[in-house]
Amino acid sequence: MTDTPSPADFNTLGRQLEAAGKPDSAVQAFRGALSLDPLYRPAAANLGRILVALDRPRDAVAALEAVVAAAPYDLALNVNYANALMGIGRVVEAEQRLHAVIATGAAPAQAYNSLGIARYIQRDFVGAREAFRAATTADSTFAEAHENLAQALLHLGDYENAWIENDWRWRNPSNALTKRIFTVPEWDGRPLDGRTLLLHGEQGHGDTIQFARYAAYIPRGMGGKVLLACQEALEPLLSTVPGVDEVYILGNELPHYDCQAPIVTVRRLLGTRIDNVPFFTEPYIDAVPDPDIAARPGLKIGINWTGKPLYADDPYRNRSCPPEYFAMLAEKLGATVFSLQFRPAPGEVERAQAIDLGARIDSFRDTARIVAALDLVVTIDTALAHIAGALAKPCWVLPPYTADWRWTALPDGTQPWYPFTRAIRQTTPGDWAGSFARLVPQLSQHLVNGGYRP
């Protein structure tokens, strides 16, 4: 950098700091460029992009507003500004801005990808699919757009093509998912015929719980063995999954195996369609019910109201629910409500009118034992929903407006992965009151019918 640094110098420094894994320092460098020239577009575009990546969309909007007003058709600047707008729930405005940029005729794949995200957030999955396809047509190697296309296809029930697109996840830098390198070949889906297959977890705890079921469907032919390597926290919980011969912790030493497959990839290898999803009407994980909870009289409901603090400023995607809404489960159903919330904030359990079981929970096995003793579970989209589903426990999931694909409803209101789980999705972004207004009558009706099954 020269003795009198220019905005370009600061911008270059910011890119170098970002590449070196120092995003906070990069932010300061980009701000340094804008302190010299408040309308310097390259630094503004980079600042907006990195702030969104740091989950600071509100800061990104504030940083970009003046620059965008001066350059309403700058592609990189406006795409990053649209992404920031989506992060704070201004998705319609973001889509309008993207349409204006694309209409100039110089729209890169990134603009179509962001347009797809805007449509996806609004649950226009057909429109999202078309925008993501336009992005992959403009740049066939654009891994993020391929992976986003997979999500839209999943919502549309096109599982077969979704699995193919989802294989791009390994090349998408935005999801920080690194493919594990093995010296043995990847399993091709054919019968094992005496071989040992290693299935290994790759994403969140809920994903591993959900897809561990596939071990029971591995074609073994003339013998064969299935090993499962999973996250350490799940090892005790998954040790009794049907079809799993042995369970190991990811990163620990493993015995000999002949082939391997990421557990999420098995969906494709076994040809899963929306009409042939392998599901269990009986538990596929084993848990001895907690005797103290089981002995409690009356209707017993376990709850969870918050997960990872993602999209805190976006009502379309914010999964966390104010705990006071759960109080109506005790008030209107006469239930005893148990909080399975991990490390609740002070006062939250009281607002939910629940009994705090957090001190009893040191592992997923502890959670499973409590769930096994309950009558049903009501939760936002967290791993608790997958534990309840794997235990064949009646469960009502409360996703946000832009729900995860796995809670997409079938015509009867259920979903294909857990037969006793029902999702009640918001009809208006952020409207938890509306979700609970529909939940309580459904629960009441099932109680009148003499059972807890959704």
In this structure, the answer to whether residues 299 and 424 fall within a common structural domain is yes
Residue 413, pLDDT > 80, answer no
Parent domain of 222: 196-269
Whether 179 is covered by a domain: the verdict is no
What pLDDT is recorded for position 2?
52
Residue whose tokens read 């800061």: 59
CATH number at residue 217: 3.40.50
* Rounded distance between C-alpha atoms, residue 350 and residue 199, angstroms: 42
pLDDT tens-digit map of 179-194:
788 889 999 999 999 9
Q: Are 313 and 57 in contact (CB under 8 A)?
A: yes
Give the pLDDT score at 453. Answer: 55
Q: For residues 340 and 89, what is the distance between their CA atoms, to the nearest angstrom?
A: 29
- Asked if residue 103 and residue 163 are part of one domain, the reply reads yes
Give me the pLDDT at residue 153, please: 98
CATH of the domain at 95: 1.25.40.10
Residue count of the chain = 454
Same domain, 157 and 122: yes
Is residue 207 in some structural domain? yes
Count up the domains in the chain and report the number: 3
pLDDT at 452 over 60: no
* Angle formed at CA 146 by CA 145 and CA 149, multiple of 5 degrees: 85
Residue 185 forms part of a structural domain: no
In a domain, 285, yes or no: no
Alpha-carbon distance of 421 to 452, in angstroms, equals 11
CB 270: neighbour CB atoms within 10 A?
15
Predicted pLDDT at 301: 97
pLDDT for position 408 = 86
**Within a domain: residue 320?**
yes
Helix (H, G, I), strand (E, B) or coil at 254: coil
Give CA–CA dist 377/261, Å, rounded. 32
**Domain boundary residue among 237, 269, 301?**
269
Taking CA atoms, 254 is separated from 211, 216, 246, in Å, by: 21, 21, 10
The residue with greater pLDDT, 177 or 18, is: 18
**Of 109, 140, 174, which marks where a domain is finished?**
174
- Model pLDDT, residue 105: 80
- The answer to whether the Cα torsion of 291, 292, 293, 298 is positive or negative is positive
165 CB-near residues (< 8 Å, 6+ apart):
146, 147, 149, 150, 153
Above 70 in pLDDT, residue 134?
Answer: yes
Same domain, yes or no: 253 and 331: no
Q: Are residues 242 and 170 in the same domain?
A: no
Do residue 253 and residue 376 come from a single domain?
Answer: no
pLDDT tens-digit series, residues 52-63: 999 999 999 999
Quote the pLDDT of residue 433: 96
CATH number at residue 417: 3.40.50.2000
Arithmetic mean of pLDDT, 87-106:
93
pLDDT at site 450: 61
| Residue 156 within a domain | yes
Residues 231 and 329 in one domain: no
Mean predicted confidence (pLDDT) in 329-336? 94
Give the percent of the chain with pLDDT over 70.
98
Looking at the predicted structure, is the pLDDT value of residue 71 above 70?
A: yes
Of 212, 237, 269, which residue constitutes the final position of a domain? 269
**Segment holding 228, helix H or strand E:** strand 225-230
Residues 247 and 142 in one domain: no
Residue 176 pLDDT > 90: no
Within 10 angstroms of residue 297's Cβ, the number of other Cβ atoms is 6
Average pLDDT over residues 292-316: 91
Whether 282 maps to a domain, the answer reads no
Residues 168 and 210 placed together within one structural domain of the fold: no
> What's the mean pLDDT in 349-358?
95
For residue 405, being part of any structural domain is answered with yes
Residue range 53-78: mean pLDDT, rounded: 94
pLDDT single digits (tens) 439-449: 999 898 877 66
- Under the banding of pLDDT at 50, 70 and 90, the label for residue 300 is very high
Q: Are 404 and 363 in the same domain?
A: yes
The pLDDT value given to residue 409? 80
**217 and 352 share one domain:** no
> Are 322 and 436 in a shared domain?
yes
pTM comes to 0.92
- Residue 248 — pLDDT band, cuts 50, 70, 90? very high
Q: What are phi and psi of 166, to 5 degrees?
A: -70, -20
Mean model confidence pLDDT for the chain:
93
pLDDT, one tens digit per residue, over 119-129 is 999 999 999 99
Helix (DSSP H) and strand (DSSP E) numbers for the chain: 18, 10
What are the strands of the beta sheet with 376-379, ordered from one edge? 355-356, 336-339, 300-304, 376-379, 395-397, 421-423
